[in-house]
Amino acid sequence: MKYRSILLFGAPGSGKGTQGKIFGVIPHFFHCACGDVFRNLRTDSELGRIFVAYSSRGELVPDETTVALWRESIGQTIAAGRFHPDEDTLVLDGIPRNVEQAGMLSDSLDVAGVYYLRLVNPENLVARIQRRAIKENRLDDANLDVIRQRLKTYEKETKPVLKFYGKRLVHEINADQTPARVLADILRIAVKH
Ligand code: ADP
Q: Is the CB of 5 under 6 A from ligand 1?
A: no
R_g over Cα of the chain: 16
Distances (CA, A) of 116 to 14, 39, 160: 9, 24, 12
Ligand 1 closest atom vs CA 70:
23
Which residue among 37, 47, 61 is best mutated to probe the pocket of ligand 1, counting the most ligand atoms within 8 A of its Cβ? 61
Q: The pTM is what?
A: 0.93
Q: Is the CB of 97 under 6 A from ligand 1?
A: yes
Q: Which domain holds residue 74?
A: 3-192
Q: Is the CB of 61 under 6 A from ligand 1?
A: yes
Distances (CA, A) of 132 to 15, 31, 166, 178: 11, 20, 31, 16
The 10s digit of each residue's pLDDT in 10-61 is: 999 999 999 999 999 999 999 999 999 999 999 899 999 999 999 999 999 9
- Cα 96 to ligand 1 centroid, rounded to whole Å: 10
Q: Is the CB of 11 under 6 A from ligand 1?
A: no
Q: Is the CB of 20 under 6 A from ligand 1?
A: no
Mean pLDDT, range 147-155, rounded to an integer: 93
Number of domains in the chain: 1
CATH of the domain at 170: 3.40.50.300
The 10s digit of each residue's pLDDT in 73-112 is: 999 999 999 999 999 999 999 999 999 999 999 999 999 9
By alpha-carbon position, which residue is closest to atom 6 of ligand 1? 35
Q: Is the CB of 60 under 6 A from ligand 1?
A: yes
Torsion, Cα of 98, 155, 168, 174 (10° steps): 130
Task: Provide the pLDDT for residue 123.
Answer: 76
Task: Provide the pLDDT for residue 90.
Answer: 98
